[in-house]
Structure 1
């Protein structure tokens, strides 16, 4: 197996390689323990070469203040005026009741029940005819078998 040199792992750790080479190195790490150890050493050395923060809490505070100042610059969101929920609910119930009365007065519900029952009757008739046809066929087959048996008994 070809191992990748430590210097190249240093370039990888400092993000100095192109994307294609980075992908090749990452795939190589999955199968090579020796190169994984070299990579970990390179990361540790690259970490030691990075600048150290003199005041980490001060750095965090300055970042948080910067975030706060960017939030203050945004215009306040427009608030929609709240509608009276009870009034809105009452309007919906009234509209539903009115539609129900209109549909009942036109007879749409009674027409709906007759339509449903006609569908049920058609489905029953269709099922009934299929079952009847199947029974008739099995009955005729049974009769043919019995006739053949009778004829066989007569010839013996």
Structure 2
């Protein structure tokens, strides 16, 4: 996917590019969050204020009313289930074909032989021998806190017993 830079988005915003390029960039905005963020960063307060003057105050309410009044055509369950079954069946066939190809090619048998060797080579023996400093510090804090609470409870028990 081709991304556009800030200058291109500025030209898009000012409409100083060809109509074909404008439509191409607009379609790209629907697909790319990164470019959408760049484009939105180019919008300043002056443009927001002018848009607020154009958009009526009851815009949201009228849109919500239109959505409530909109009646959509639903497809029948038979067609829907049939489509889902065809899609799932197609996925299973694709996975089965890939598994058969990998098995015939010896991928799985080589994987079984290679993985233990790779795992053994990645073990860092120095890390095993070296103590974890952060864990030791946190362990000391926990132990000291526990001892403090025990001493405090014992002190309270002794005072209550007197």
Structure of greater Rg: 1
TM-score (structure 2 length as normaliser) = 0.27
